[in-house]
């Protein structure tokens, strides 16, 4: 049987419930149906025979009645022929009734057998889809009651990530936009996705709405509910200069700037920032392509315009 953490395919057997008593009942129902089928053949033959006898007896009674009117036979002979015709007709009716009773019993037996077979089929649990078993609720030998959960599965055909986005971006969000997923666990190989669905209800307290992103590839290892940061590409820019975030100062202010190497010295240049991505800014004005941007070599040091510039690592 399947266990927690197993990957399963559609139709795969997950577990089998103990159905020994059900199988015995089904076998008995099959035997009863076979007996009814055999009995039906005999009853059909008896009904056909009774119908033939009844037909002959009724014809004989009509013949005797005609002869009696002519005075060719006695009244007792005529009465006997009539009684024999009535008896044959009653025998035929009983045979037909027995055959009809057998038909109804067979139909009931077939319905019972079908119901038992359906229950027996349900005693074998199959995976309804390609999935991952994230929880197994019972162990071997446990008693399972009606409507009790045995396994919890998640489909692996598609993997979704849900994120909260500020309502201010609602006008820019569109289904199909590219997204990048950064897992808190540091997973790689499943970081690209697309916006699948945009929520239509904003949280009254946080003023955020839900956005669902579907991954382009399913993670090899994942856990339902794991955390991630999602970056959605709202637009693209043709800016020729792009700077890493750590080289741009005052990015959240009205007057951002960068430090640029001008000959042997440091200069400060005001810039106009356009779109920004996960780790870069698009600089639309203030820096020419090919310029060498500067940042301190040590975390706690500061750059100052006019000072001598010494590049200790490759420029971005």
**2: containing domain:** 1-17+124-157
Instruction: Give the per-residue pLDDT at 193.
Output: 93
Instruction: Give the per-residue pLDDT at 278.
Output: 63
Give pLDDT tens digits for 94-118.
999 998 889 888 898 888 888 888 8
Is pLDDT larger for residue 246 or for residue 123?
A: 246
118 and 35 inside one domain: yes
pTM (two decimals): 0.50
Residue 57 has pLDDT above 70, yes or no: yes
Q: How far is CA 315 from CA 41, 118, 243, in A?
A: 97, 72, 10
144 and 196 inside one domain: no
Give pLDDT tens digits for 257-268.
999 989 888 899
Q: What string of DSSP letters covers 242-299?
A: EEEGGG-BSTTSSS-EEEEEETTEEEEEE-EEEEE-SSEEEEEES--TT--EE--SST
Q: Which of 201, 232, 263 corresponds to the end of one domain?
A: 232
Give pLDDT tens digits for 163-172.
999 998 898 8
Q: Which of 141, 157, 173 corresponds to the end of one domain?
A: 157
Q: 256: domain CATH number?
A: 2.40.420.20
Instruction: Give the per-residue pLDDT at 55.
Output: 92
197 and 133 inside one domain: no
Q: Give the best-scoring range by mean pLDDT among 132-136, 142-146, 213-217.
A: 213-217
148 and 2 inside one domain: yes
């Amino acid at each position: 049987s399947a266990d927690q953490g197993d990957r399963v395919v559609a139709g795969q057997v997950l577990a089998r419930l103990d159905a020994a008593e059900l199988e015995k009942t089904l076998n008995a129902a099959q035997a009863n149906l076979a007996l009814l089928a055999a009995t039906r053949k005999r009853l059909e033959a008896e009904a056909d025979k009774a119908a033939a006898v009844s037909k002959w007896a009724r014809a004989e009674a009509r013949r005797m009645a005609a002869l009696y009117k002519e005075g060719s036979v006695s009244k007792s002979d005529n009465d006997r022929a009539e009684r024999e015709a009535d008896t044959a007709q009653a025998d035929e009716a009983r045979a037909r009734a027995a055959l009809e009773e057998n038909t109804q019993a067979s139909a009931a037996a077939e319905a019972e057998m079908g119901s038992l077979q359906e229950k027996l089929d349900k005693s074998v649990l199959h995976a309804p889809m390609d999935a991952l078993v994230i929880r197994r609720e019972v162990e071997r030998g446990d008693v399972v009651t009606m409507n009790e959960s045995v396994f919890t599965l998640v489909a692996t055909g598609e993997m979704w990530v849900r994120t909260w986005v500020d309502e201010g971006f609602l006008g820019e969000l569109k289904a199909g936009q590219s997204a990048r997923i950064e897992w808190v666990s540091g997973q790689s190989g499943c970081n690209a996705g697309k916006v699948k669905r945009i929520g239509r209800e904003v949280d009254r307290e946080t003023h955020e709405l839900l956005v669902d992103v579907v991954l382009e590839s399913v993670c090899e290892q994942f856990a339902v509910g794991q955390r991630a940061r999602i970056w959605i590409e709202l637009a693209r820019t043709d800016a020729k200069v792009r700077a890493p975030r750590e080289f741009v100062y005052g990015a959240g202010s009205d007057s951002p700037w960068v430090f640029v190497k001008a000959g042997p010295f440091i200069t400060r240049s005001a810039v106009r920032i356009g779109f920004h991505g996960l780790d870069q800014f698009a600089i639309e004005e203030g820096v020419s392509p090919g310029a060498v941007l500067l940042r301190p070599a040590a975390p706690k040091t500061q750059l100052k315009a006019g000072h001598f510039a010494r590049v200790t690592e490759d420029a971005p």
